[in-house]
Chain A
Amino acid sequence: MVGLSTIVVLMLAIDLHDVTKTYRGGVQALRGVSLAVQAGEIFGLLGPNGAGKSTLVKIIMTVVRPTSLRGTVLGQPAGTQAVLARIGYLPEHHRFPQYLTGRQVIDFFGALGKVPRAVRRPRTEELLELVGMREWGNRRVTMYSKGMQQRIGIAAALINDPELVVLDEPTDGVDPVGRREIRDMLLRLRGEGRTVLVNSHLLSEVEMLADRVAIINQGTTLAQGTIEELTHESHRYEIEAMHAPDMVVTAVGPVAGLASVADPALRTFVIPTRDAAIIQPAIDALRAAGATVTRVERARETLEDLFVRSVIDERGRAMPGAQRASTAPLTAPPAASRTPPEIRS
């Protein structure tokens, strides 16, 4: 029997298909993006500048109207007032009214989110504490640094106790200590069962945080899944050996491939496998030939490698006659899927 918690985990907080957006003037920002974000996970939205990430986020938040969209957010048609009441949002280049204090900003956006006054007051204090701004709550936002404004923005996004938190570049302008605090905060939000969608260009941060990611480029979804799923094909062993004779290089070559020769005496062999048994003959062959094995390491693509490969692959496909850098599959199927309603405008 499937438990309630299993159902909750399998639910999709965001389930969008074929999202397209063509701006006036014919600029196609989105050409059929699909996005499946599971409830209770941290999801990273990645892509180069102009990929369409912000447009997608703005469509979810009703700031931009889609040309066409099928799907649901929090189980309801995207863009409805009921859905918006359950989402917390921090835009990338947010601007708070300059005449408000941090405390008033949180309270104002809480009121706009229909949070009753009796709830807003204590929650504002909690959130100020959470983002480390209690001491600064009564100062006008004009006095805040970028990082402090970001913290107030996050607090304002959380005032309505949202089930889904959408953060566009949440660590932008924040110092390293602040970034770490924001990361911890996002992990805490996930721990509370909330879904977090993070749009960021800081790949290392997303890699540290995200359960799953999607890479968007030129208005289409290039890859989507857990980092493990997306880098599955890139698992490899790297063997570094000193003084490996050419003969051995040739012998190992068919199964391994020479990766790099940084030092004439040092050779690195890359064997595309996650099975340690497969690399043993290569190590034996190297040793038998008198080479000194200095390093054996299990490796896989980083998120940055994956990102760059995805984007380069896409560019390759976009250019006639160009070849893809890799044929590794880039999309992992979502854990749950359904046929969502269609919205067209």
Chain B
Amino acid sequence: MTQTLAIFLDAYRDLNSRKLFWLAMVISALVVAIVGALGIDDTGVSALGFHFNSKFVNTLFFPRDLFYKLIFQNLGINIWLTWLAAILALISTASIVPELIANGSIDMMLSKPITRSRLFLTRWVTGLFFAGFQAAVFVIASFLVIGIRGGAWEPGLFLAIPVVVVFFSYLYCFCALMGVLTRSTVASLLLTLVFWLALFGAQKAEQFLNYGRLASSMEVTAIERTIASRLEKNADADVDKLRAELVSETISAGRWNSGYWPAYAIVTVLPKTNETTEWLSRTLVKQSNFRPPAKDDDEMRFFGSSRVKRKEFEQATYDDAESRKGALWTIGTSLMFEAVMLGGCVWLFRRRDF
């Protein structure tokens, strides 16, 4: 315990000495302060004494609490914590493993009565401090802003802290492995950013194929429903045309499916950065009613369909994600990938001569 506490205290001192850590903290606080400075009423929004009339952003369209919640979700989580702050955290912590194994530094550590596995893993965990502190400061401040300004006290928001740390840990385990392999901070940071982009690309591809698959499947159902309706009314004038359309759409649905499942399998074994953020959003929606109102008459046009409405499509994607992309799939399989990465790090670290 003495050793663990010492390593944690050392990590805190390390973070405390980094200007970037404090810069990120200040930006976090600033972002929340700006959101807190925003006001909303039935005519529009106000900021720092200035009022801006708006037909779309007002309390008639968004309830006051939802206005702040949506800013927290879309700006706070989806942009700040899981992109910009995560990049700052990576820049700040990428050096931890290369510095640990640098000549002169590692000699002193390894000569102490602590196993290599424990030394490495404890030091790695301390690297998560950066993301943890940042997320905690941001979420606590947001909780207060939503409570005071929006009038809704949502303890469910605090779920964002561990989820953001877990999200960061996916990248940080890869960064640590690159650090052990290359011993270079710059190389491990750059390779991690490339890895992150690759993950982003893979998940977006899987999402695109899934949307296509769902849209196509819904289109098939809609055509079948239309044909049945026409047949019921004996209005079979366009049925042949619809049947031809159905055949074409069924083939298309088959293609979407055959493209989707391999992509799904690949994403399943990789850490799911986007999916984790989306899982958090879905959970916040369920817990704290974050969902913006959808327009009933909005048509889904993205995949060329005019029969499937946006609201139906959104519900279908939501239901699909809820049924297949729960915490176990999203976070569980990502943590398995992380365990493999960390296992590789420890294996290399234990075997290496310094």
- Residues of A whose CB lies within 8 Å of any CB of B are 23, 58, 61-65, 81-82, 84-85, 87, 89, 91, 93-100, 104, 108-109, 111-117, 156
A97 with B14: CB separation less than 8 A: yes
> Secondary structure of the B side of the interface?
helix
A residues within 8 A CB of B234? none
B104 with A91: CB separation less than 8 A: yes
CB proximity of B20 to chain A, nearest CB, Å: 13
A61 with B110: CB separation less than 8 A: yes
CB proximity of B119 to chain A, nearest CB, Å: 9
Contact of A95 among B3, B102, B114 (CB under 8 A): B102
Q: How many residue pairs between the two chains, A and B, have CB atoms under 8 Å in the bound complex?
A: 84
Count class of interface residues, chain B: 20 to 34
A112 with B353: CB separation less than 8 A: no
> Secondary structure of the A side of the interface?
loop
Which residue of chain B is the closest to A64 with respect to CB atoms?
B353
Contact of B2 among A62, A95, A100, A114 (CB under 8 A): A114
State which residues 10-25 of B face A: CB under 8 Å.
10, 13-14, 16-17
A112 with B106: CB separation less than 8 A: no
- Residues of B whose CB lies within 8 Å of any CB of A are 2-3, 5-7, 9-10, 13-14, 16-17, 102-115, 351, 353-354
B111 with A62: CB separation less than 8 A: yes
CB proximity of A244 to chain B, nearest CB, Å: 58
Which residue of chain B is the closest to A115 with respect to CB atoms?
B2
B residues within 8 A CB of A100? 10, 13
Contact of B107 among A82, A89, A113 (CB under 8 A): A89
B104 with A93: CB separation less than 8 A: yes
B13 with A99: CB separation less than 8 A: yes
Contact of A84 among B5, B106, B112 (CB under 8 A): B112
Which residue of chain A is the closest to B109 with respect to CB atoms?
A112
B104 with A84: CB separation less than 8 A: no
Q: Known: A99-B16, A104-B13, A108-B6. Is A93-B103 also a contact (CB below 8 A)? A: yes
Which residue of chain B is the closest to A54 with respect to CB atoms?
B107
CB pairs A–B below 8 angstroms (17 shown): A61-B107, A63-B106, A63-B107, A89-B111, A91-B107, A93-B103, A95-B104, A96-B108, A99-B16, A100-B10, A100-B13, A104-B13, A109-B112, A111-B3, A113-B112, A115-B2, A156-B108
B13 with A91: CB separation less than 8 A: no
